[in-house]
Structure 1
């Protein structure tokens, strides 16, 4: 009894290790495994017997559609939830990764991790603008944009609750520094006036951001005069003149400086000159690097959460598959015993039951992936970003995530079919033939 218990425990541990290895296998390794199995099935006598036995079981699936649908629907649910959760994290990170580029620098106070805890004094701006590597516009003015970030409350379109939104003050050169930002409706704000342009993503998530509407922010009336799109995190923001925003909220310093450099070499020159100037104890990074770091923790949390929830659901799907396949083996006991009596050995019977279960798992994985793609791919949502304001982003159901979901489905099928398959192979022929 003790030996049997230890053997079962060892089998479970080895199976768990095999599943982990299976999940992390790259696509070419999975393809290689599939090719080896296919060749074995087609070229060996045992493999051909396994295929013949599997055809018999698969042909009877329509007569057992109620039980087999438990496997398909259960696995589809696991894959759908897993892919949707991972698509949320990938979409959020992709939005931040696409924000900025490698030739635009963001300057923060030394040691600051984000704009919210950064302070840059006004007298430092001319020093920053005079450093080598800073690009100049057509008017020969340095492309430098002193910026402020203010969190304000807006009303969500989804449920009517108050949510945080980012109200950004930008300098006159912001439209050239942030060259992805394009006005698609209305016009740019005018410096010195309480006018706002809003991102397309913010307009889709918050009420009252249509062109011509008036907002009360900081006890002042602001007018929405335009809508812009950037295809990145700035789509979630509202923009205005930085000096107007500073006077409204009594801000005497800036939080960040965005600088357009003359390219990769220009950025290196700018960063080196910044470090060499003792008057400027500031940190410099590319805007791409900065925004990528801002999303790192949340993306990891969403990925871990998705896999954790998927694992819990996978346990349920495994038990459903085990129950269904054990029932299928029991109802087909005479059929399996007959095959054993006419010459089918244990291995073909095991492989036949496994192929049947893996086919159902494959159908469930494909169904779950298609449902996740149809419902969630491109679906826009917002979440709280590192600056305590909402970031609007889209779920991204990529082929990589669909492939991950499919591997999870096949892993569930492997566990759910293995033990019933072993039971079928060990079924005493004389006992099984007497069952009705």
Structure 2
């Protein structure tokens, strides 16, 4: 019964510790670390724990091989976890940069995305007349009716396969609405011609998107005349004249969406209310910041779940590696631990010493794994099918300080579990038994 209760107590301690370590913010954890340091300095048991820890750490060079198993195993877990989560962060940042609080998007009511929306010419005209829209120097509303369609182009990876690219039909208002979109090579397309400009992300992914080259969209030939950079999701698109694209895809005078610049962010509610109160319109209105951020939620959630599952599976393996290593270390140091117990060291200092040694190895593994993930994947270009759109989205992985902190927390959690049971065994081992085993 005692053995069962002890095992149950250990399991509860492990569970509560992991939950607290996951939920508590870093300032609270920092305070706890400071309190622990003060405990090792100003209490008798704490000083014993510090002395025992120093003895254990001093023998690490003699156990480089076994200790490296813990470090390398945990580093692998952290590197994989952080790199996977960096995909979600990069994807979310790319989409969130595509919008702002003082611009709005209007689509047909019930449309999940631009591609599923259709607005007729009368609706487009009515939207542009709504109050709250900013005006340019000529007094014209800054409203950009746009048409989004899908096209297939050969990928640049040499596989011979085609990929889906998003083609956006725009007018002059689109450049006014998005001053961050800059032509970096070639020139803008000319209205009335089958000319396109390609985003830098699309150029990296698809073949033939160099200024002066001709590409096939459907049955028609188009000329790429320029490359633009936007620093956001728009960089994965091709842009052309809205009227020509509408004619090529038999869309008439309809558009999929209208983007507008508001006088300021506070004008959004009035703008939305005006459109909702217009009996001619059945539309949904959102800020572009919220719209594009919402597009990233599904993908980010999936990547986070995959990362946690993969990290958890690898973490279990790392825990067993740490358990084996620390049980072996405790067995090799049985005489040393028995001597400490014989001269007056109690059980808790021994537990703390073994735990701190394991946590130190885990921290080294976490830092190494984070460094590997940052060196290999921070800024790495990737592409995927954009959630809620029809084209591939090009984005860069982002290894942020928050992700590195998450990886370090995982490493220390693995070290905590891997060191707890060997530490308890070392503290419970009778002195005579320990001397006999050594």
Task: Give how far 1:414 is off.
Answer: 0.7
Once residues 195 and 212 of structure 2 are traced to their aligned partners in structure 1, the CA distance between those partners, rounded to angstroms, is 10
Distance 1:349 1:7, change over 3 A: closer
Aligned-partner SS, 2:433: helix
Aligned-partner SS, 1:393: strand
- Give the count of matched residue pairs: 435
Task: Give how far 1:315 is off.
Answer: 1.0
CA RMSD of aligned residues (A): 1.5
Distance 1:265 1:39, change over 3 A: closer
- Corresponding residue for residue 353 of structure 2: 352
Aligned-partner SS, 1:173: helix
Could you tell me which of 399, 404, 407 is aligned with 1:405?
407
Aligned-partner SS, 2:296: helix
- Corresponding residue for residue 372 of structure 2: 371
Once residues 22 and 312 of structure 2 are traced to their aligned partners in structure 1, the CA distance between those partners, rounded to angstroms, is 12
Once residues 179 and 419 of structure 1 are traced to their aligned partners in structure 2, the CA distance between those partners, rounded to angstroms, is 60
- Corresponding residue for residue 143 of structure 1: 142
Aligned-partner SS, 1:134: coil
Distance 1:221 1:122, change over 3 A: same
Once residues 189 and 249 of structure 2 are traced to their aligned partners in structure 1, the CA distance between those partners, rounded to angstroms, is 18
- Corresponding residue for residue 393 of structure 2: 391
Aligned-partner SS, 2:189: coil
Aligned-partner SS, 2:227: strand
**Superimposed CA distance per residue, residues 231-276 of structure 1 (whole angstroms, 9 cap, x where no aligned partner):** 1110111100111111111113211111122222443332221111
- Corresponding residue for residue 334 of structure 1: 335
For normalisation by structure 2, the TM-score amounts to 0.96
- Corresponding residue for residue 162 of structure 2: 162
Once residues 159 and 16 of structure 1 are traced to their aligned partners in structure 2, the CA distance between those partners, rounded to angstroms, is 50
- Corresponding residue for residue 207 of structure 2: 207
* Runs of 4+ in structure 1 over 4 Å off: none
Task: Give how far 1:435 is off.
Answer: 3.0
- Corresponding residue for residue 85 of structure 2: 86
**Superimposed CA distance per residue, residues 415-436 of structure 1 (whole angstroms, 9 cap, x where no aligned partner):** 1101100111111211221234
Once residues 344 and 4 of structure 2 are traced to their aligned partners in structure 1, the CA distance between those partners, rounded to angstroms, is 32
Structure 1 window deviating more from structure 2 (256-265 vs 324-333): it is: 256-265
Distance 1:4 1:431, change over 3 A: closer
- Corresponding residue for residue 263 of structure 1: 264
* Aligned 8 A contact 1:383 1:392 in 2: yes
Q: Is the counterpart of residue 225 in structure 1 residue 230 in structure 2?
A: no
Once residues 121 and 422 of structure 1 are traced to their aligned partners in structure 2, the CA distance between those partners, rounded to angstroms, is 73
**Superimposed CA distance per residue, residues 312-351 of structure 1 (whole angstroms, 9 cap, x where no aligned partner):** 1111111110011001111111111122122222111111
Aligned-partner SS, 2:172: coil
Q: What are the equivalent positions in structure 2 for 1:58-97 lying under 5 Å apart?
A: 58-97=57-96
Task: Give how far 1:9 is off.
Answer: 3.8
Task: Give how far 1:10 is off.
Answer: 4.7
Once residues 10 and 119 of structure 1 are traced to their aligned partners in structure 2, the CA distance between those partners, rounded to angstroms, is 62
* Aligned 8 A contact 1:125 1:146 in 2: yes
Q: What are the equivalent positions in structure 2 for 1:100-179 lying under 5 Å apart?
A: 100-158=99-157, 160=159, 161-179=161-179
Once residues 204 and 126 of structure 1 are traced to their aligned partners in structure 2, the CA distance between those partners, rounded to angstroms, is 37
- Corresponding residue for residue 251 of structure 1: 251
Distance 1:265 1:34, change over 3 A: closer
Distance 1:389 1:9, change over 3 A: farther
Once residues 224 and 21 of structure 1 are traced to their aligned partners in structure 2, the CA distance between those partners, rounded to angstroms, is 56
* Aligned 8 A contact 1:187 1:225 in 2: yes
Once residues 415 and 408 of structure 1 are traced to their aligned partners in structure 2, the CA distance between those partners, rounded to angstroms, is 11
For normalisation by structure 1, the TM-score amounts to 0.96
* Aligned 8 A contact 1:100 1:178 in 2: no
Distance 1:58 1:203, change over 3 A: same
Structure 1 window deviating more from structure 2 (12-21 vs 346-355): it is: 12-21
Runs of 5+ unmatched residues, structure 2: none
Once residues 63 and 158 of structure 1 are traced to their aligned partners in structure 2, the CA distance between those partners, rounded to angstroms, is 49
Structure 1 window deviating more from structure 2 (63-72 vs 161-170): it is: 161-170
- Corresponding residue for residue 197 of structure 1: 197
* Aligned 8 A contact 1:329 1:420 in 2: yes
Aligned-partner SS, 1:262: coil
Distance 1:331 1:174, change over 3 A: same
* Aligned 8 A contact 1:133 1:268 in 2: no
Task: Give how far 1:6 is off.
Answer: 5.2
Distance 1:82 1:345, change over 3 A: same
Task: Give how far 1:135 is off.
Answer: 2.2
Task: Give how far 1:306 is off.
Answer: 1.1
